[in-house]
Chains A and B, each alone.
Chain A
Amino acid sequence: MGALGALIRRDLALALRLGGGGGIAVAFFVLTIVLVPLGIGRDAAVLARVAGGMLWIAALLAALLSLDRLFQADYEDGTLDQLMLAPVALEQVVLAKALAHWLTTGLPMTVIAPGLGSMLGLPVAVLPILALAMVAGTPALSLIGAIGAAVTVGVRRGGLMLSILVLPLYIPTLIFGARAVGNALVDLSPWPAMGLLGAVTLFAAALAPFAAAAALRINTR
């Protein structure tokens, strides 16, 4: 555990430095949501109806923003070679990096989301559901993103390709996440959608470490 703890701490330290990407992703998330009323208008009923979907779309894009450096930076400076030689399974390295990515993007977005939701006119009763949906859903963004980042490592301008690869895979999280909030808004049960949202995250957690590690092995040969 010491090795993985050190890896997570290192990634957190790098992400929190200027230009590390963590803060930028969260700022992007906030700015996108602030733009929504400017684009859609001040009608509170309309804003509340689109709030869930907008928050989730902004979260997907913000998570994508910092993903392209997830393995690329380590690949470029030789760190990835050393990690492959280290007495730590590459699958564990992927999991540690995805966790660090979530801690610097998904978690702060989860904390901010209820505030932004109320700004868009979501009723107070819906805000806990929104926060819970973010907790259940955003880890999948980091985990699925890790697969895309591993597949595009070593590709020039891989960030663009990464977006095209990963965004379609985010669709289940987007649908169930927005549905959970939307259902709560019209007094329907949010729990079926919430359960599926968690299921997507668990599935991603089971699959991503192996898929990303396999992609990294192929790409570094």
Chain B
Amino acid sequence: MDLHIDQLACRRAGRQIFHGLEFALGAGQAAAVRGPNGAGKSTLLRVIAGLLPAAGGDVRLGEMSLGADRSLFQEHLAYAGHLDAVKTALTVRDNLAIWAAINGGDTARAGAALARFGLARIAARLVAECAAGQRRRLGLARLLVAEKPLWLLDEPTVSLDGDARALVAAVVREHLAAGGLALIATHEDLGLGPLPVLEIDPASAGTAIAGAADPFLEGTW
């Protein structure tokens, strides 16, 4: 399954974030999304995840197209954003079991994901009592509760220590070895070796579009 980014453009509040973005990634490959702060790395990942509308272009994963059938496309990706999406009032185990159930997976998978991310020991603990790095690992463990070919990771190693970082790299390597793909926005070296780089050109970031129509009136808000 290949990923093709085709003339992708994104516009937010009358500002061009990026446009004409072209990129291709084969099965079993990962790419690093690079660019200075504010260039639109997170925005790009959210557009590919279908959480933000694209102003133009398309993303294709194998036969599936984001523009043509967003929900089918979304069923084949996993997104780990800045927010861990964990509930502090629930235990570590319950947090993951819910996502396993919502994604149609079984609870055995959730248990395996906990063990893989070294959370089995604190599975019965409330997330409110967990450290930031442990919450991060719990958020990332969601990647494993269902089989998704495309992983979109936004700064996955924030607040992780060296061991946990190596663990994330190992999990990503396993995912790639199984034919998966990953787009990773990061400033750090993940230890995945030299990756193809998807550079977001800061020159096109933050430029106001001359005579741009109001996105509200365009109906693309």
- A residues whose Cβ falls under 8 Å from a Cβ of B: 2-3, 5-7, 9-10, 13-14, 17, 20, 76-79, 81-88, 218, 220-221
Contacts and interface: CB of A to CB of B under 8 A. Distances in A.
Contacts of B74: 84-85
B10 to A, nearest CB: 11
Contacts of A83: 102
Given A6-B98, A10-B98, A86 B87 contact: no
Contacts of B84: 77-78
Nearest to B78: A85
A50 B142 CA distance: 53
A221 B13 CA distance: 11
Interface of B: 49-53, 74-75, 77-79, 81-87, 89-90, 94, 97-99, 101-104, 139, 142, 221
5 contacts: A77-B86, A79-B87, A82-B79, A85-B51, A85-B79
Contacts of B99: 82, 86
A2 B85 contact: no
B18 to A, nearest CB: 17
B102 A6 contact: yes
Contacts of B102: 3, 6-7, 83, 86-88
A112 to B, nearest CB: 25
Given A78-B84, A85-B74, 16 more contacts: A3-B101, A3-B102, A6-B102, A10-B90, A13-B94, A14-B89, A77-B86, A81-B51, A81-B83, A82-B142, A85-B50, A85-B77, A85-B79, A86-B102, A221-B51, A221-B53
Contacts of B83: 76-78, 81
B85 A78 contact: yes
A7 B142 contact: no
B51 to A, nearest CB: 6
B87 A77 contact: yes
A129 B74 CA distance: 48
A79 to B, nearest CB: 5
A7 B75 contact: no
Nearest to B51: A81
Nearest to A88: B102
A10 B87 contact: yes
Given A3-B101, A6-B102, A221-B221, A13 B90 contact: yes
Tell me which of B75, B82, B90, B103 has the highest count of chain A C-beta atoms within 10 A of its own C-beta: B103
A85 B80 CA distance: 11
A125 B51 CA distance: 54
